[in-house]
Chain A
Amino acid sequence: MDATIKQDLPPPGGYEKIQYARNPAKTFFRGGRLLAGFIILNGCTTYYYFNHIYPGILHRRVEKKGSHLATLPLLLAEQDRAFLKHCRALRDEEEKLMANVPGWEVGKWNGQPIYKTLDKDVFSNPILSEYYCHAPYMDFYKKAMEEAIQV
């Protein structure tokens, strides 16, 4: 055997240690600082919103509401008249439509009114489907959707 053969061995002192632990870069925003930044930013924006932006919004809202309230009586008076006109037309239409049905009384079913405990001359609003009974269905549908949104 030749004595000059050299065996492949670790360097003197051994190999370097393998680094397996995570070594993340140092960041500025950690725990407490992040929380402090969050609180400061939110506080500043909240202060700014309620002292500089919201008063303007409120001002415009109140002004618009005032404008609506000032015109409300005019619109309501007009609406009341149109409503009563339509109610009368509906009642006349029902009378004309059911003229050839024996024993039919307008606004009653078999001689019974809908609200029997009410006094003689108390006005009760017709429900929406009755109010729109001679109108196209889509008109009724639109109005119903409108009312559902408003409520």
Chain B
Amino acid sequence: MVLTKEITIPSEEELTVQEVEISTPGLRAASFHMGKACENVNNEFMLCRQECQDPRKCLNEGKAVTACSLDFFRKIKKNCAVEFTQFANCLDRSSPDFSFKPCRKTQAVFDKCMLDNLKIERPYFGYFSEVKVHHTERPRPEVKKQEYPDAPLPVPDDLPLQPAKFGKRSL
């Protein structure tokens, strides 16, 4: 395998946190509000993941994402459990692909509950498809430029041209 002994891989304990154990309908039902509530943490994690391209370097950001989502789902369970379950059930049973269209009524009930109890408004249409600029404290990771020790030297500009062998230089 590629992974040698020199490569540090975090241990089992470092990687074990309380995961969000929820099925797809529940995740879909709460996705918009969750994305809005944990937006900063999520953007931080995705920026880190995109910049580093290494799962080991963004573990803390990832843990923060999971903790935020878990906290959010606990809040839902406390305040809007019935509405949430209703909406998730509707998403699960109305279409084969969890589409939102057949569930506008239950969605409206859930949205109202979220707005009243948790003060989280449903983001407007297309909010998560927009390009966002994220300001972060984390320093930019250094991009190492690849150096080739046996690369040929570049040709100097003032290299004297030799006379053309066959009459024309273009030949």
Contact = CB atoms under 8 A, between A and B. Distances in A.
Contacts of A107: 1-5, 7
B3 A90 contact: yes
A73 B42 contact: yes
Given A64-B99, A107-B4, A126-B2, A77 B63 contact: yes
A80 B31 CA distance: 20
Interface stretch (A12-20, A28-36, A40-48, A81-89): A81-89
Interface residues of B, number: 52
A73 B128 contact: no
B34 A78 contact: no
Interface string A45-86: 000000000000001101111111111111011101101110
Given A66-B129, A73-B42, 17 more contacts: A66-B127, A67-B100, A70-B36, A71-B31, A73-B45, A73-B62, A77-B61, A78-B19, A78-B66, A84-B9, A88-B9, A88-B11, A91-B5, A106-B3, A119-B144, A120-B6, A122-B7
Interface of A: 59-60, 62-74, 76-78, 80-81, 83-85, 87-88, 90-91, 94, 105-108, 113-115, 119-127, 130, 133
